A and B are shown apart, each in its own frame.
Chain A
Amino acid sequence: MNLHEFQSKSILMEKGVSVPRGLVVYDALEALVAARSLKADKIVLKAQAHSGGRGKAGGIAVMSIDDDVRSEAGRILKMNLVTNQTGPQGKPVSALLVEEAPQIDEELYLGVVLDRNDGHVTVMASPAGGMDIETIAKEAPEKIYLVKVNPLRGLCPFQSRGLAYKLASKNLIANQIAKAVTALYEIFVSYDCTLAEINPLVVSGEKVLALDAKINLDDHALFRRPEMAGLRDRSQEDPVELSARQAGLSYIKLDGDIGCMVNGAGLAMATLDLISIHGGAPANFLDVGGGASEQVVADAMNILLDDIRVKVVFINIFGGILRCDVLARGVIRAIKERGLQLPVIARIEGTNIELGRKLFADSGLQIEMIPSLDEAAELVVVKAKELSAS
């Protein structure tokens, strides 16, 4: 679950990290009033959407209070923000953060991640803030300083200080950076984050401020923080992906016209690859999970049939825990409830396969059963092409 910048900053403030003075608003007039109340020479309007690269996409404006703040705020609030991270469909702007624009003497980077290679929480710091960490890693890897945290000891004060002294020589500044490092680490661990980042952390005169922040929470640990559920912004998520997740399915929208239902994440990815090898384009990734019930299978089938882009449905199941008869019952139920307008091709293998085949045969539904996965994928692609040609 991703948080907006203003939500991330409010968590940082609770932990004692300074951020620029600012207010969150939801309409243009409110933005003007907020900007005036800040009594700053320069202000910045920042689109709140779950994406980086907002500046380049036109979602951030630095203005003087004499400029037309109201119409600029209105423009940003109405935007559909298309960045290099959102894909062509973009993201709506959920709110506007109106902040004072502080003087910037230096831009630093602080980030905390869990290193999947060694299982250690890793704190990253760099004097080359302002650009993303992947760019720093590519262009100036020597400017990234890392601390690997021993899970039994946690981050020690000397480690925070060590990083701070690499970024600043003045004690006054270094002390504030060390405090920010400790705070960011504590947030990462106590909120079970996948990422906690301040970029840039700016030196502004004698102060150190978090100019931008990104805190992403791990969905698997949200049970420990039920109070965070209220911070989820559903407008930033694809509605079909969201309802699929509520049904216990893992669904990702893609650009093509072949609807896919598969069990298991790896096999689901491989099925997409196979469709592409045969020249087709899948409409989605859909993993019904290892132990799906009849209901979950029916829900999955409905998601595919609801998608107007889908021309052919491809079911690829290797039943392990998921039994083929359960699968067949779920599919048949969904189709019988709504009728079938699309061709369905199924390749089914594994536990209780005979029973599954029999259920499909007895159902009287036009479902083509192809035992060979490769041939099934090929046929699906041919059918999809025929239908888009006609």
Chain B
Amino acid sequence: MAILVNRESRVICQGITGRNGTFHSIACRDYGANMVGGVTPGKKGAFVDGIPVFNTVEEAVLETGANVSLIFIPAAHAKDPILEAVDAGIKVIVCITEGIPPLDTASALYTVKQKGGVLIGPNTPGIISPTEKCKVGIMPGYIHTPGPVGVISRSGTLTYEVVDQLTKAGMGQSTCLGLGGDPVVGLSFVDCLKMFKDDPKTEAVVLIGEIGGSAEEQASEYIKKEFCKPVVAYVAGKLAPPGKRMGHAGAIISGGAGTAQGKIEALTKAGVTVVENLTKVGQTVRDILL
């Protein structure tokens, strides 16, 4: 088991004939994901390293039974493919694109939620379930290994750093996913914790937060009340000056809210083991689980 994507997932890539779409579709398939097709309007009948290309998502779903989509479409045009995927019945939409205007994301997300779908991202490295050999994203697959730890993060490379530590500490992962670095994203820490709670293969969760917003505070409330598995957390951005966007559009302290210190306090109060030194996350998880 894992959350959201697994061995049975049938994945398509929207934007498969672009440079990133091609590279990562093949890398996901190499990792073990079931890449059943791709979509680029006007390219029907073509193949990308054996993966069939369709004109529309609707067609791709009809022909292949796809239920997961990986989106690589430039930011200015990314709202449409999200809506296209959800209208065609895709349930899990992974949007890698960075820099989508937040109002576009917000309006697409409203429809995705109405139709009972899940949007991962935007501005996410994607999702990977090592136990299920399924990768839908741009993360380097080789650093992952199957095991009992769930990882939820707001950042890309920071997640790789932590996953690498976990793997080297002998702590494999059930599912790792990036929520995305934008102000408005499809999933929250709480949404993911709920799924990890019901996943018998996940024994502990690593939560990687950063400044901005209140997703970590909300996670703290939820963990205190309903989450029994051990949680280890790291929150980035203690030195971030207020009012500056720290690389991610969503990483900003505004009006004194969203500081790392506030988040660390909330998580600590909820019983979460908060690690201050990033390089100790792997070892901390090992100490708790073994």
Chain A positions near chain B (C-beta within 8 angstroms): 85, 87, 114, 116-117, 119-121, 132-134, 150-152, 189, 192, 194, 218, 220-221, 223-224, 250, 252, 254, 262-270, 272-274, 276-277, 282, 285, 287, 290, 318-321, 349-351, 372-374
Query: Other than the known A220-B75, A270-B234, what 8 A-B pairs have Cβ atoms closer than 8 Å?
Result: A117-B214, A119-B106, A134-B257, A220-B99, A252-B246, A266-B155, A266-B236, A267-B157
| Nearest A residue (CB) for B110 | A151
| Contact A221–B103 (Cβ < 8 Å) | yes
| Contact B255–A189 (Cβ < 8 Å) | no
A to B contact number (C-beta, < 8 Å): 171
Chain B nearest CB, measured from A134 CB (Å): 4
CA distance A373 to B280 in the complex (A): 10
Encoded as 1 (CB less than 8 Å from any A CB) or 0, chain B from 85 to 120 comes to 000000000000001111111110111000000000
Q: A117-B214, A120-B106, A277-B276 are in contact. Are A285 and B76 (CB under 8 A)?
A: no
| Contact B138–A373 (Cβ < 8 Å) | no
Chain A nearest CB, measured from B119 CB (Å): 10
Q: Which of B160, B211, B244, B279 contacts A318 (CB under 8 A)? A: B160
Q: Is the interface of A mostly helix, strand, loop or mixed?
A: mixed
Which chain B residues in 156-186 approach chain A with CB under 8 Å? 156-161, 164, 181, 183-184
List residues of chain A with CB within 8 A of the CB of B277: 274, 277, 374
List residues of chain A with CB within 8 A of the CB of B238: 272-273, 276
Total chain B interface residues with beta-carbon distance under 8 A: 67
| Nearest B residue (CB) for A188 | B103
| Contact A373–B154 (Cβ < 8 Å) | no
25 contacts between A and B (CB under 8 A): A119-B106, A134-B256, A151-B106, A152-B110, A192-B103, A194-B102, A218-B102, A221-B101, A221-B102, A265-B246, A265-B247, A265-B251, A267-B161, A268-B246, A269-B158, A269-B236, A269-B251, A273-B236, A276-B239, A277-B276, A282-B239, A290-B156, A320-B125, A320-B160, A373-B161
| Contact A267–B279 (Cβ < 8 Å) | no
Which chain B residues in 103-157 approach chain A with CB under 8 Å? 103-107, 109-111, 125, 138-140, 143, 153-157
List residues of chain B with CB within 8 A of the CB of A221: 101-104
Q: Is B241 an interface residue (CB 8 A)?
A: yes
| Contact A269–B244 (Cβ < 8 Å) | no
| Nearest B residue (CB) for A375 | B279
Q: Which of A119, A223, A270, A282 contacts B105 (CB under 8 A)? A: A119
Q: A87-B241, A151-B107, A277-B276 are in contact. Are A114 and B246 (CB under 8 A)?
A: no
CA distance A335 to B183 in the complex (A): 37
| Nearest B residue (CB) for A317 | B157
Chain B nearest CB, measured from A279 CB (Å): 13
Q: Is B271 an interface residue (CB 8 A)?
A: no
Q: A133-B255, A224-B101, A266-B153 are in contact. Are A373 and B181 (CB under 8 A)?
A: no
CA distance A16 to B254 in the complex (A): 30
Chain A nearest CB, measured from B113 CB (Å): 8
CA distance A355 to B280 in the complex (A): 27
| Nearest A residue (CB) for B244 | A252
Chain A nearest CB, measured from B15 CB (Å): 15
List residues of chain A with CB within 8 A of the CB of B213: 116-117
Chain B nearest CB, measured from A253 CB (Å): 9
| Contact A268–B247 (Cβ < 8 Å) | yes
| Contact A119–B156 (Cβ < 8 Å) | no
Q: Is B48 an interface residue (CB 8 A)?
A: no
Q: Is B240 an interface residue (CB 8 A)?
A: yes
| Contact A273–B76 (Cβ < 8 Å) | no
Chain A nearest CB, measured from B210 CB (Å): 6
List residues of chain A with CB within 8 A of the CB of B143: 350
Chain B nearest CB, measured from A352 CB (Å): 10
List residues of chain B with CB within 8 A of the CB of A254: 239, 241
| Contact A119–B110 (Cβ < 8 Å) | yes
